[in-house]
Structure 1
């Protein structure tokens, strides 16, 4: 199964039997059999025949629509949800009990910080010239990991978010040095992304978030109701939870794309302070993501199944955390 990326102007998609027919400026350019697809990603002004939505839903094919200007998600067709509503009942119970949420939240933050630590260690091995900033970041992360591993009785969601924020600040203080100064990457900035690295991180996190939403639906969990991220109108908080430990993996891929010069300065332009990736750059990014995303999608499904089967039942919270340690 594969993904279909539709990122062209004046493109129309129609249903042609058991395939999607692609038209550009009214001329048929080809067909893609539905049985080969797992998801469709569209960006910009793509016209979609209404019958296509039914066909995608019937075959459990996901759909992600990205805005043309900032590549944020504007619409999603996730996946057919699991039929066991008891899983969602367990999830709702958990969401109302901080004593059940905290062990999972601690595990999530610990796994994420460890992943940040691994990336910086790999970077230090490859970039001895950056020993000072990377070692300083690693020292801070080591201290935070030590605090997270202590069996403190007063740990709370608020304190865990404080640890995560401190870890993120230390991590990006080292991570920024992995990119040449010509890219003007000074730290994580979302809206709008002011430089090529942030533009790539934003697009990558959007794609990863959609895969997390699909993982939630597949195992029968409510993607809007998280255990670490609180309720927020319009936000898939559980999907945000599941993807947090995988953010450093996306960071590594972005670093690799620039390090191997798959992405270069000519793939980007400035639009009144907003950095935008051009069509050639997006094609490179999509291809790289699809060639590497299998491992991330498997992890997301594994996390989702573990939550549904081991945690979201009475008395099952410690099992998941103990297993992941």
Structure 2
């Protein structure tokens, strides 16, 4: 089972040889491809062979490319993530508005519940109780925007009354970077299951290639928030970014077992598709806060 997150920070050439990714830089290193879950190309001066790209795609390794500021800007997404992807795509297009509304309601309810639990853990009982009161008010498709009201209360409780998500600061940079890591993991799983990332349940921005991943990741954002609050970066550079990549190795409890977050995302994503296709939101497998380890 793949488990490693490999970050290539310096100029190098990446090639494939006998089951290994060969990294030729100042030194030559070999990494077993079967161990790689995520490959982050952090330096635009890195070159990579088509042979290696073919193997990485076949092994469903998540490959993310960064710009000159080390921010993710593109990723490798296979055209065919599943042997029956054409059937999955037809099914996805036919998902009804009713079932999508039901699934979105439950995803947002779980997100707000996790936000409330986290605030309770921090001793912010008043704000936590307010968020809990919103849960019973979440309607189909969150028509009354309880998610937006909860977000304002939640982020102000975490980072102060003056904090806004639109502000250009190191905290928002860290949050956005962490969210992009989670988003990439979801994009990989959606593609691996044979579905299109562009067609969402709720998100429908014509310029967003990852509408469905943006939908599914919502309850997982809190894990990023927790790490950023612990970090509280004065600046957000290379070292802080590398710390956030440890998120995908964090252990959570899901489906009656402890798993790394990367595996939990795989289990959860598959369960959401099962829930949609069976018109049964009870099939969604969420991780639970009180079983974090």
**TM-score with structure 1 setting the length:** 0.75
CA contact (8 A) 1:242 1:300 kept: no
| Superimposed CA distance per residue, residues 70-92 of structure 1 (whole angstroms, 9 cap, x where no aligned partner) | 61332333695122343332221
**Post-superposition offset of 1:20:** 1.6
CA contact (8 A) 2:5 2:38 kept: yes
Residue matched to 1:17? 18
Residue matched to 2:199? 225
Residue matched to 1:76? 76
| Superimposed CA distance per residue, residues 142-181 of structure 1 (whole angstroms, 9 cap, x where no aligned partner) | 2211212xxxxxx453615x11111111111101149xxx
CA contact (8 A) 1:11 1:23 kept: yes
- Aligned-partner SS, 1:147: coil
Question: Counterparts of 1:159-174 in structure 2 under 5 Å?
Answer: 159=143, 162-174=145-157
**Post-superposition offset of 1:112:** 0.4
C-alpha change, 1:285 and 1:157, in structure 2 (3 Å) is closer
| Superimposed CA distance per residue, residues 24-62 of structure 1 (whole angstroms, 9 cap, x where no aligned partner) | 2xx433111222222211113222223221121233322
**How many residue pairs were aligned?**
276
Question: Counterparts of 1:44-123 in structure 2 under 5 Å?
Answer: 44-45=43-44, 46-69=46-69, 71-77=71-77, 81-84=81-84, 85-94=86-95, 97-123=96-122
Separation in structure 1 between the aligned mates of residue 129 and residue 60 of structure 2, nearest angstrom: 46
C-alpha change, 1:107 and 1:5, in structure 2 (3 Å) is same
Q: Which runs of 5+ in 2 are unaligned?
A: 252-258, 287-293
Residue matched to 2:42? 43
Rg: which structure is higher? 1
CA contact (8 A) 2:248 2:261 kept: no
Q: Which of 270, 294, 298 is matched with 2:263 structurally?
A: 298
Q: Which runs of 5+ in 1 are unaligned?
A: 125-133, 149-154, 179-184, 259-263, 269-275
Instruction: Give yes or no for the alignment of 1:250 onto 2:224.
Output: yes
**Post-superposition offset of 1:239:** 0.7
Q: Which of 187, 207, 211 is matched with 2:164 structurally?
A: 187
CA contact (8 A) 2:5 2:39 kept: yes
Question: Counterparts of 1:118-133 in structure 2 under 5 Å?
Answer: 118-124=117-123
| Superimposed CA distance per residue, residues 90-119 of structure 1 (whole angstroms, 9 cap, x where no aligned partner) | 22111xx32222111110110000010011
Residue matched to 1:277? 237
